[in-house]
Structure 1
């Protein structure tokens, strides 16, 4: 049954995404925020498909922690699910993403048509400058910025190195950081065709203010909260893992 559901989802994803990508190309002449609003109407459609076809729903904790204005979201990254769902959970946002994703047929074309932060990861230190420069511009436009500090998707129960780019952006832009923990990888694993039904829990942590705090400390606070929350909510993934921070 999981295989059939996943196959139907893959077909619907293609049938819905291709027309949206073509639509995104046709409206290139509209203002960026208008394009963003029109193109991201794809999100609630796909979230409906994810819920009713794959049987994956989500429960939100800590919505009251969201600040009133734009912020930098530092989120756990386990699957493709959160790249869709966070757009429904938070106000209008954009992602820090690899520039090569913009060349992916249809999906990448849609990404290229909305305001975002596309970086060249091979640029080394210049990649951080790209994040800060483009990120500050997006925040001034009123968009939130989502950064996956571990840089890539990690399996449930594991932790990658938290890179400081998102914290540096928040510090230099003078906006707060919002940490996010979730268990999407439990049901939608990295590069897995077959998805499993279930309830994803998304937890939004208390705002981390940046005034008077160094970027490294901001990043460390975000990591500490996210990893502690992951262990609190999903202890079954960490039975054989050391507590957060013990590896430092």
Structure 2
């Protein structure tokens, strides 16, 4: 039954992506990217999360939502989230009151329909093999997007990590926050409990999302700031998903 539910959710994802994705690409010729966000992107991601909840049995609960500024608040924010599966990449855009821009690897642009739509949404796509150029692009585009009211979403571990294990927290998110005078919001997400990485077979259960208070980047050093962010996320992961962890909470920080 679990496999059947997972397949049905995947079918829903694909069948809804095609018309909405193509509609977004066509509409991008006539309307601005903020309308594209609310008219196409948000309804689709909310629909997939809803299908995973109703059909796949993957529920969720959110703590700390009040820590996100309201839509009228134009402060600069970098959202640094735990990354265990594809679930959070779909959930976060539908949760936030501001349009978001992800920092992601440019290879995703090659995916038919999905990549085409991403390319029209003013995201920050980078070539991870050229780290210096990638960082310059993140800083330049990130500032421009924040000036337009967007929040930047970064997964500081860089890739999906196995449930119960911390990845290496890279300093890109803290560097961007310091360079743009933005606050950082740490987010812990136990998605690996219900949607294991590198898998589309869903496990019925409840994903916990915990949103921390914004952390100011003013006067901070990038490594020290990311260490605080990573330590908060990893400690919160152990609180939310204690059965997955046995070692003390530590978040290795890299470059």
Q: 1:233 to 1:147 in 2, by over 3 A?
A: same
Tell me how many residue pairs correspond in the alignment: 247
Q: 1:154 to 1:31 in 2, by over 3 A?
A: same
1:78–1:155 contact (8 Å) kept in structure 2: yes
Q: 1:129 to 1:21 in 2, by over 3 A?
A: same
Deviation at 1:78, TM superposition (A): 0.4
Consecutive aligned runs of 4 or more in structure 1 exceeding 6 Å deviation: none
Deviation at 1:28, TM superposition (A): 2.2
Q: How does 1:161-176 map to 2 (within 5 A)?
A: 161-176=168-183
Runs of 5+ in structure 1 lacking a partner?
Answer: none
Residue in structure 2 matched with residue 206 of structure 1 by the alignment: 213
> In the aligned structure 2, how far is the partner of 1:113 from the partner of 1:39?
11
Residue in structure 1 matched with residue 111 of structure 2 by the alignment: 104
Please give the per-residue CA displacement for 1:44-90, whole angstroms capped at 9, x wherever unaligned.
22222111111111100111222343410000000000001011221
Please give the per-residue CA displacement for 1:126-177, whole angstroms capped at 9, x wherever unaligned.
1111111111111111111100000000011111111111111111111100
> In the aligned structure 2, how far is the partner of 1:117 from the partner of 1:245?
25
Deviation at 1:243, TM superposition (A): 3.1
Residue in structure 1 matched with residue 233 of structure 2 by the alignment: 226
> In the aligned structure 1, how far is the partner of 2:252 from the partner of 2:196?
26
> In the aligned structure 1, how far is the partner of 2:242 from the partner of 2:195?
18
> In the aligned structure 2, how far is the partner of 1:180 from the partner of 1:205?
6
Please give the per-residue CA displacement for 1:86-134, whole angstroms capped at 9, x wherever unaligned.
1122122111011110110111111111111111111122111111111
The reply on whether 1:154 has 2:161 as its aligned counterpart is yes
Deviation at 1:245, TM superposition (A): 5.1
Please give the per-residue CA displacement for 1:163-214, whole angstroms capped at 9, x wherever unaligned.
1111111111111000000110111011213111111000001211111111
Residue in structure 1 matched with residue 2 of structure 2 by the alignment: 2
Deviation at 1:247, TM superposition (A): 9.9
What root-mean-square deviation, in Å, do the aligned CA atoms of Structure 1 and Structure 2 show? 1.6
The reply on whether 1:22 has 2:22 as its aligned counterpart is yes
Q: Give the alignment partner of residue 76 of structure 1, picking from 77, 82, 92.
A: 82
> In the aligned structure 2, how far is the partner of 1:243 from the partner of 1:207?
21
TM-score between both structures, scaled by the size of structure 2: 0.92
> In the aligned structure 2, how far is the partner of 1:170 from the partner of 1:106?
31
Deviation at 1:18, TM superposition (A): 0.8
> Comparing 167-176 with 211-220, which one deviates more in the overlay?
211-220
Runs of 5+ in structure 2 lacking a partner?
Answer: none
TM-score between both structures, scaled by the size of structure 1: 0.95
